[in-house]
Chains A and B, each alone.
Chain A
Amino acid sequence: MSVLQVTGLTVEFGQRGGAKLRAVEDLSCTLRAGQTLALVGESGSGKSTVVRALAQLQKRAAGQILLDGQPAAGRGRALRAYRHRVQLIFQDPFASLNPMHTVRHHLARPLLLRDGHPRGPALDGAVHDLLRSVNLTPPGEVAAKHPHELSGGQRQRVAIARALATGPDVLLADEPVSMLDVSIRLEILNLLDRLKRDRNLAMLYVTHDLATARHFSAEIMVMYRGQIVEHGPADEVILRPAHPYTQVLASAAPDPAMSRQALADARRQRQAARAARTAELRESALGQGCRFRTRCPHAMPVCQTSPPDAPAGPGHRALCWLYDPAARAGAA
């Protein structure tokens, strides 16, 4: 059951001096009802641009977005209807709520704007239902508050309730917990997970945290410099990463299970590997070819040309020459 189907999404930004910056290149993915797809990558890799393009806050240079099989409209009434069905949760709940308005206002607005919800007690009831659905109780008390009276976690719950107010089918969560205190992050992620199941939402979870990406999603896409370099089932991507970039990413995450000796050994290995790649190489211009090749421990001559989207396992693909049968045969 696909809800949102994206093919060949490309986003470009104009730059001074002519050449366009391609922030997202040829991204295809499918968001399915009741499932979470995680999008991971380092800062600047284009994750948020993907979210903005899917929410149609950002024009795309190429590509198609199908919502329930229908091409997403780019303007007018149809665009509004699209946005009602595809809602966003932003990273910073200190910035995404209006400090001048009460919680009630934040939740009543989308209800009124969507379908002219009746005012009066019915509206209050709907607002209270939304607050209850995100565990903000007692709803009457919370509704009267302003954002500054709430903690970060409570604010993010309000932002989630607001996203639910239009009855969306798709939720795009852009780093929904990275601004929150560590002890409350999992509570918010658990809430999103429960809402996804209860309401059969299709969710895109954008994060730089591999551990929560694995635990809260069915599939993971790894983004590097605007391209999806790996896409597959969550456990496969994290535990058996195929693309060298994902491997680097996974090995960089802290692992408290390692012994002191193992840590020191791993560190020495990394330092030796880094010393082998000169600073000059790391900063060289990319041109054509694999974007990761300057940092890649497996770089081969063929990496000067654009890598293929090759199968790396069941439902698991990597944008890498290592998985191209012909190139492998050639190298052997």
Chain B
Amino acid sequence: MVTGMGCVSGLGLGLETTWRRISRGEGAIRVAERQMAVGEQEFGFSGPAAWLHRSECESRLVTRDLRRLGQLDPASTYALVAMLEAVGEAGLMDHPVLARRTGVVLGCGSGGNATIDLAYARLYAQGRAKVHPQTIPSSMTSAPASHIAMLLGIHGPAFVLSSACASSAHAIGEAMHMVRSGRLDVAIAGGSEACLSHGSWVAWQSLGVLASDTCRPFSKNRKGMVLGEGAAILVLESEAHAKARGATILGELAGYGASSDAGAMTAPNQAGIEIAIRAAHSDAGIAPGEPALISAHGTGTAVNDPVEAAATNAVYGPVLAGHTVIATKSAHGHLIGATAALEFVIGMKALAEGLAPPVLNLIEPDPACDLPLALEARPIAHEVLVSNSFAFGGLNAVLIGRKAA
């Protein structure tokens, strides 16, 4: 059961703000300009991204005693703010279950970029012999899990896993299994990513997959993906534990399927994607024929969109016409390790509200991407969400959610 949800992204802080903007067709992709001063030099980049004001997030943490956590990379800051919203909503702050029967499973693609960038700049640009002593503990990819565990007094298993753009889908899915198996009563699961640093930006640019304009999933003349940043967290709870304490059930995480393409590092594989989608349906015990809200991976790259569309048509066949496909990266960008969690949270909210948020920025439908897209906000009666993540390196994860009864 899902008993809490929280998120921060370019769309804003908190699920209510995020939903209000995305359901009205507002997007968070605009020109990002980040500068980093290194001694007398300045490094920076400028380009379309769905970025956050880090200081707004930090102001949400001001009342907390964070001294023990040390210096926080934005990846940790975002995770903490999203977690506080989710755990607060679940009514679990200071609850006894946190100490021994709760775990933390987060996804992150690239760790503490801002901290690493600054350290490398000191090393290479300034020729310094030392970097900040907290460079390692602040930037290590696992830091957000430690920080969450420290803030909540969690002594159960806590870790971060990584599978590029599918990281938080794998994290949520594996956390689901930990609760199902009885290892945990509660899991704090999701993802965080803060990769809008100069070094990371240049690396992404150099790969040649970033759009110069915006993110246009499934559109003719789409030019690529747009990076985002932020975090999204779910509180997953066993049905027994949730009911025993009278928790409000927001929905159900019904299934999870994962697969590996074993193909190429930056091109998706239709067969691999189909395995993950079918596996998720099988795990959930929900047939592909049941009309569902499909939250596409929909990055807006030349290669992802047609392969995803072909796989979707192959799995669902003629019944696809009864489904609704959304592509929320058009609004919040691609949050890499956090994107699956944000998309799942938005998808569950869409089921609860009975409304599909519109796919933004489409110029003209691409015949190679034949999908029942919600090009305008559309009332829906779906009870099932299928949330897709098909990552670089051919790592795929699909989550299936069910609307609360």
Q: Indicate, yes or no, whether A interacts with B.
A: no
B-side interface residues toward A, CB under 8 Å? none
